A and B are shown apart, each in its own frame.
Chain A
C-alpha cells in the first residue's frame, strides 16, 4: 500500500511542536528533559474549549499544526484517531464518583468519557462531517491507526486522511498499573499522491521493531503508546530513504520511506 505524508504535527515532552521535533530528530538528538506543556487548542470555540478535556486539547494541538484553521479542513476529510487508553483523568474521576454513596456522575464528564471524544470535538471545531473512526490496539495503537489511515486513502474515494494518535500521562491512581509519565500526541496528514514524503506499507510477521536513537527518546517511545511513532517521525525528519518496523497486533507493520522527490 502506498501513501504520502503531507504534514506532521507533534506535542510531547520537550517537543512542543513538529518544527522543534524535526530539528531535534534530524540531528539525532534527544528531547530536552521537560514536561509536556499543557497545550490549549485554538481550534475550539470558547464554549467547547471549556467543556473539552486535557486529552482533547492535546490531540487537537497536534492536529492544528497540520491543518491550522477550519478553512483548511475539507468538509468530507476522513479522520482516524488512535489511543491506547483514552482519557484517564475522566476515567479516574468517573470511577471515584461511582464508588461514592451518591454516585452521580456529571453529564459532561460522561460524554467526555467516550473513546471518540477527541474526534467529536475535532468535528465540531472544524465543521468536518467526513467519516471518523477511533480505534485502540493497546501499545500498538499508532501502527493500527496508520494502517487504517493508509487503507482509507488506498481504498476509498477520499484522497487524504488525517491520523491523530494521542495518549495521556497517567493520573495518580493509575500510575502503579499503567505508568506513563508524559502525554504525547502526533498527527499525520496522509494523501494518496502528490507532494509529500512517499511511504510504502506492508504487513510482516513478528520480530523486533525499530528503536529510537538515544536513550531519552527510546525511553519516551516505550513509555507512551502514541510515542511508538517516534522511529517513523525520525525517518521523516531525516528525509532520507529508510525502513521502519512498528509492532502491530499479529506481527509488524513495515513502513518504507522513499526519497522525497
Chain B
C-alpha cells in the first residue's frame, strides 16, 4: 500500500473568482474568465484576476508588495486557508510544516516596469530596487512561509508550466523523508509582458478564447492564479488525497513537445505505477490541454497510448486561461472539486472535437461519480508531471 497525502485544506483565486463557491458557480454556469484587455500584444484574450480580488499585503510585508504577492495573499485568505494552516501549525509545531510552491515568473512585472522607467539604455536599476523580495523566484516561498509563520523546509519550484504540479511531488517526498509532517503546496503566477509577448512571439497565442482539443484550435490564452493546498500524511478514509505522481523530461526541444509524446507517456505511466493503479482505474483526466495545435495533439496521443481511447478527458484552460506556474496546482484543485462534487469537467469553448484526436474529450461538464483522476502538467524544457488524485482508500 502506497503512502497517501491528504489534502486537508485548499484555496484558489483565478479569473473565475475567489474561493470554492465562486469557482464552482462559474464551472456550473459555463462562464469563462477569459476576456480581452490585458497589457501586451493587442487583442489577446487573457484570464485576468479582477482587481478587487487581489489582497493588500500587511504593513510589515511591504517590501514584498507586487501583483504576484497580492494574488498570493488573496489565495491565503480564500476559504479560511490561512486559519486552517495556523490550526495545524498549533498542533504540529512550525518546524514540522514546510512550503513548496511553484511560479514561472514571480514578480517580474516589477522588474519590467523598472526597466521601462530607466531613462536610457545602459542605465542601472537603483541599488534599493526590491529584486529579492518581488521578482526573485524564492520571494514567493519566502512570502508564503513567512506569512504563515512556518519553519519547515521551503523552496520555490520553477519548471515553467509544470512548476506547481511538481510542488506536490516534492512536498510528498519531504513528508516521506521525515523532514516535515505537513506542507503548504501551491502555485502563483501573474500576468506580465514577458509571457504575453513571449508566447505571442512563438505564435502560440489564440486569436480569441482558447479552444482546447477543437478541430480549429489556434493557440493558448495566458491566465493568472493563486492556488494552495495543505498536504498531510493521510489515514485511510480521510477524504481526497494525492495518491501518486510521475515526472519525466522529453529530452527533445525547449518549447515543442516530443512528437510521439515520449516524455508525457513516461510521466503518465510513472504516475500510475507510483499510485499502484491500473490504467482502467482512472475515471477522468484533467488534461494540460493548452489549446495549441501541437501540444493538444501530443497529449491526446499520450493519453490514448497509456490510458486507452475511452477515458473521459477535459481541459479547463477555456475557463481560467493557462496560469503557467500556477496551472499544476490550480488544475489539481479543480480535479479535487470534481472528485468532491461528482463532476467531470468539460472543455469550455470547444465546439467540435478534432476528429484526428482519438480521445474521449468531454465538451460539457457532466455529473459523474469519480474515484481517481489524473492531472497533467507539461512545460517548456520538456518538463512533465502527472498527479493522481482520489479518495484515500
Contact = CB atoms under 8 A, between A and B. Distances in A.
B18 to A, nearest CB: 27
Interface in A61-116: 78-79, 84-86, 91, 94-96, 98-99, 103-107, 110-116
Interface residues of B, number: 73
B155 A144 contact: yes
- Please classify how large the interface on chain A is, using the bins under 10, 10 to 19, 20 to 34, 35 or more: 35 or more
B145 A249 contact: yes
A176 B127 contact: yes
B56 interface: no
Interface stretch (B27-35, B136-144, B230-238, B366-374): B136-144
Contacts of A178: 131-132
Contact of A151 (B132, B174, B248): B174
Contacts of A176: 124-127, 129
Interface string B130-174: 011000111101100100001111111111100000100110011
A194 interface: no
B248 A131 contact: yes
B87 interface: no
Contacts of A152: 173
Interface stretch (B111-119, B219-227, B283-291): B111-119
Interface stretch (B197-205, B294-302, B335-343, B356-364): B197-205
B381 A107 contact: no
Given A135-B155, A251-B151, A114 B381 contact: yes
B383 interface: yes
A172 to B, nearest CB: 7
A175 B124 CA distance: 7
A154 B155 CA distance: 19
Interface in A119-142: 119-121, 123-124, 126-138, 140-141
A261 interface: no
Given A95-B115, A177-B129, A117 B154 contact: no
A119 B254 CA distance: 10
A129 B262 contact: yes
A248 B138 CA distance: 12
21 contacts: A51-B254, A84-B138, A95-B112, A99-B118, A110-B197, A110-B201, A111-B381, A116-B380, A132-B159, A135-B156, A136-B136, A137-B138, A138-B132, A138-B138, A148-B155, A148-B173, A151-B170, A173-B125, A177-B124, A177-B131, A249-B145
Given A110-B198, A116-B160, A129-B263, 10 more contacts: A106-B201, A119-B249, A126-B251, A131-B249, A133-B159, A134-B159, A136-B136, A176-B126, A249-B138, A250-B154
